[in-house]
Amino acid sequence: MLHEILASHSVLNDFFGYVQHHWGEHTTAYGRSFSAALLEALNAWGIVEGSHLLFAMLFFGCILVFDARLLGITFRDVKISEVSEKLLPFTVISMTILLASGVFVFFSKPQDYYHNIWFRIKMVLLLVAVINVYIFHKIVQKNQAEWDSAASPPTKAKMSAVISLTCWVLVIGCGRLIAYSWFECGKPHSDWMNSLEECQTSPLGAMTPADFTRQLANEKTANDAAAAAAATPAAAAPAPTAGATKPEAK
Amino acid sequence: MYLAQLSKMLPESPDAIFSKMHQVKDWEASLKDWPLAHWVNTYFAYIEIVHFMGLFIFSASVIVTCLRLIGVGLTNEPVSVVEKNTRWFLHIGVVLAIGSGLLMGVGNADKLYNSQIFTVKMIAMIAGLIFSYCVMVPVAKAEGQAGGLAKLGMVIAMALWLLALVTFSITPTANVGIFHILWGGALILFIALQGKTRWVYAIGLLALILPWQVITHVFIREDLDAAKYMVVNKAFMYLTGAWITGLSLYNIFGKAAPTGSNAFARMTAYATILVWVTVGAGGRWIGLS
């Protein structure tokens, strides 16, 4: 019993559902929630989305150049610490604004994003990227003085760069795929996909291919029954009585 | 009278030109039947990701080189070294973005052919390529000095960019996308301005944006008085635009600017970044308009 309640109920889903659909509906224009109002705001949304994309480009641009230096592809004659020192302020500022604007982007459709598989993968990749940065600063950079000027840094630094670039490329890819509804809850998916997206707690529900086939079969049966009933006037309607008139065309 | 004179100046009669335009239209209409178009529509999302990655990769080159042209970023290295080391990002990114863009065009030929905002994007893209290859690269190679090619490129690309901006601003349902370019300019300016002026600018910007948001979402609401809302919204847009543009020109022509750069280099940097923002904003609004 408890298992069933837990499976069909999610505090986070309920919370995000309330935020997305109801919070602020009595105070905003057209009775929209704050989330919907933000999404449809002419200029506020432009600031949020524009900041997210522009700072993503600035962030990725700096990361790409730095990781390429770690891989020994660019700036081979320049010290790694110099590239890092000059680009780090831009990466820190852009990441801060990316996270802040990302919170607002999430706020625009929190319940939809919460159940979106691409969003979930993106969050995991972000976590991996952050852990990679931590490992780079705490472990890989320990003896950076020895290879700071090396045209081709050691393998551990290159590994760090490869993980970083892979994570950020995938984060950008997942960010774009969030807009696609291939794996939206309520569509027929395998059990594991429904579980990964917690579809059973979403307003659209969970559906497996077997459920979908069953639903189609039920609909077909219902349609066939309706067609059969329509083809048998006696069963479809009482026999016309004298003086009965045709219904007026609407 | 005027049209008759104009038609004499044209190499072919207007009828012949219209006939050719119809041929283009017919060719465009046939694109959706190409097997390639079916393939593109099947894998559209993946092609779109390649398109995005192309934009992100060449933005690495454009942003890092342009920041150096402004006088910030990798300032320990000469601008020519920065350009040389990021050049391949520009080439690879442009090839990926244009190649995937062509494929996306084949899959959506009908929609794009009739889209005014797509025309804006294409004009801005040509301006962006001229800015990047004929202005930014030569100016960076010459350590910020402008040669003949760079000056000619600046004039042509600037004219094309202005044409794109004007067309963008008069395209119904998409003109709100101008806001992205304005915001891009605001962010570059924050990085480029030095000293106290940066903070004066930031406070001024906040003093415009915060009342703008509060007034247009609390006091003069779209649902209660749409006409007044639009007037106030546009007034704030023009004021903010004037504040950003004015201070950008102030910065470009040498005030509160970093040392080690010149007006032409700063103009190149601002314009090159913003023209690509225009291309991105155009692409964003193709899907929404």
Residues of A in contact with B236 (CB under 8 A): 43
Phi, psi of A119 (to 5 degrees): -65, -40
User: Reduced to 3 states, what is the DSSP secondary structure of residue A27?
Assistant: coil
What per-residue confidence (pLDDT) applies to B142?
A: 93
Residue where the block lists tokens 């100046």: B9
| pLDDT at residue number A173 | 92
B18: left (phi over 0), alpha (psi -120 to 50) or beta: alpha
Distance from the Cα of B138 to chain A's closest Cα (Å) equals 19
Percentage helix, strand, coil for chain A under 3-state DSSP, each rounded to 5? 70, 0, 30
Among A27, A28, A33, A47, the strongest candidate for a mutation testing the B interface, having the largest count of B CBs within 10 A, is A47
Kindly state the DSSP code that residue B171 receives in the 8-state scheme.
Answer: S
Q: Give residue A4's pLDDT.
A: 59
- Per-residue model confidence as pLDDT tens digits over A104-152: 999 999 999 999 999 999 999 999 999 999 999 999 998 888 999 999 9
Provide the sign of the torsion angle of the four alpha carbons A171, A175, A181, A184, taken in this order.
positive
Q: In the structure encoding, which two tokens stand for residue B239, read together?
A: 């004021």
Q: What is the model's pLDDT at position A243?
A: 45
Regions of chain A where pLDDT drops below 50: 241-250
Q: Which residues of chain B, if any, have pLDDT below 50?
A: none
Q: Which conformational region is residue A219 in: left (phi greater than 0), alpha (psi within -120 to 50 degrees), or beta?
A: alpha
* Non-local CB neighbours of B37 within 8 Å, separated by 6+ positions: B31, B106, B107, B109
Q: How far apart are CA B83 and CA B79, in angstroms?
A: 6
Distance CA B244, CA B96 (A): 33
Q: What is the pLDDT of residues B52-66, one digit of tens each?
A: 999 999 999 999 999
- Three-class SS of residue B137? helix
Within chain A, residue ranges assigned H as helices are 2-8, 11-21, 34-40, 44-70, 80-108, 110-115, 117-138, 144-147, 155-177, 191-196, 209-231, 233-236
**3-class secondary-structure state, position A42:** coil
B77 at interface of A, judged by CB pairs closer than 8 A: yes
CA–CA dist B154, B151 (Å, integer): 5
pLDDT of residue A249: 40
CB contact A43 to B (< 8 Å): yes
pLDDT at A156: 94
